[in-house]
Amino acid sequence: MRAPWRRVAAAELQRATRAAIDPTTQAEAARIVEDVRVGGEPALRAHAERLGDLRPGEPLVRGTAELIAARDGLPAADRALLERTAARIEAFAQAQRRCLLPLDVPVPGGRAGHRWMPVAAVGAYAPGGRYPLPSSALMTTIPARVAGVPMARLASPRPAAITLAAAAVAGCEQVLAVGGALAVAAFAFGVGGPACDMVVGPGNRWFTAAKRHLFGEIGLDGLAGPSELLIVADSSADPAWVAADLLAQAEHDVDARAVLVATSADLVAAVDEELARQLAALPTAATAAAALANAGRVALATDVEAAIAVADRLAPEHLQLMVRDARAWSERPRAYGALFVGSRSAEVFGDYGIGPNHVLPTGGTARFQAGLSVATFLRPATWLDVHDPAGVGADAADLAALEGLPGHAAAARLRDGMPTAAATRSGGR
């Protein structure tokens, strides 16, 4: 049985496009957001009840006591699992934070630098549709806390007990029980809690459309599209492992993109057989098979160098190197959201909290943007302390004159002790 995906020439592989938000969704999401902007909580509740996020009279916000009760009600093994995962995410975030140092350097006439300042409030999202995603609750809120964000709110529609428990483990004080465009609007306009300066996390097309609508009004981590995995593999790769990783990606959603660029035709044939065999026993086979049929691709490359060149052109969300000497090749790729080095470094390890974040750029945006991290929530705000502007003021004044801005020039000349145009006309210095 042949695997349900398309074989193409490597040159034909196209960069995934950002999730296309159809005009109807974009318009409806914008309408919901603007209704909440004007109508506040009553408008949000009306939409939430209409969409099935809330039942009449059901609480909009799940508070600290309920989160702690959900955590304490977990089986001991499940709670320990969440706490171990949270500890690994926090340790990695703490290490990232230690890399972000303040700057203080001499400049002509004084000193300058920057300090890393956290945003005041963050709204984080954990999807709750087909599957509850407690991992996203941990991934989005823990780095914000490590960054020093004073208030991190979490939203999840119809939150499962495991998501509430994860929120408690992550240190959240509340969970907003709505999703999609409503969550973005509640965060942006302070419904159910403080207004947020930034909204982060993965979500469906409604969530993405609402983020796009408020672009420039609130900070965003990006506009996520369907999840992507590109595997570069040579003849040393185990076809069963390759197939398993492709299917793990494909079961996310029917639009998920699973791509293999291989240097061996024999490996491709073996992976085809493994995909068919593993699909037959996979409970999520319907979704995974649809994803392979929709966006799954396999291509041959002449060698590993050529395969990595294809990966750089596509800039995938996840890039996995299943090749000989993978560590030696690991510094060659230049465009990816997250890199998984060697066959043992399964992409699923990134999903489930070994340390690095799983909220990553999609649709080729890894060419210019990185995944969620402590740095997402911090701004390197610069400062300048000039105590002796001699010389510097003259240059600033001359540049201002070149640009035709005499007020700028006058302000600079005052600091440098030079006569301004007004002072010259009045006979002063």
Q: Where in the sequence numbering do the catalytic residues fall?
A: 317-318
Residues forming a β-bridge with 382: 114
Considering only CA atoms, which of 101, 105, 106, 154 is closest in space to residue 132? 154
CA distance 255 to 314: 17
CA distance 274 to 354: 27
Pairing of strands 175-176, 61-62: antiparallel
Tokens of 194: 């403080």
CA distance 16 to 363: 5
CA distance 267 to 29: 45
The count of other CB atoms within 10 Å of the CB of residue 162 is 19
109: region left, alpha or beta (phi > 0 left; psi from -120 to 50 alpha): left
Considering only CA atoms, which of 188, 220, 198, 225 is closest in space to residue 32? 188
Helices (H), 75-202: 76-99, 134-147, 161-170, 180-189
CA distance 79 to 95: 24
Q: Are 318 and 230 in contact (CB under 8 A)?
A: yes
Write the single-letter amino acid at 87. Answer: A
SS3 128: coil
SS3 421: helix
Q: Are 310 and 301 in contact (CB under 8 A)?
A: yes
Residue 217, φ and ψ in degrees, nearest 5: -100, -35
Cα atoms found within 13 Å of the Cα of residue 417, Cβ hemisphere only? 5
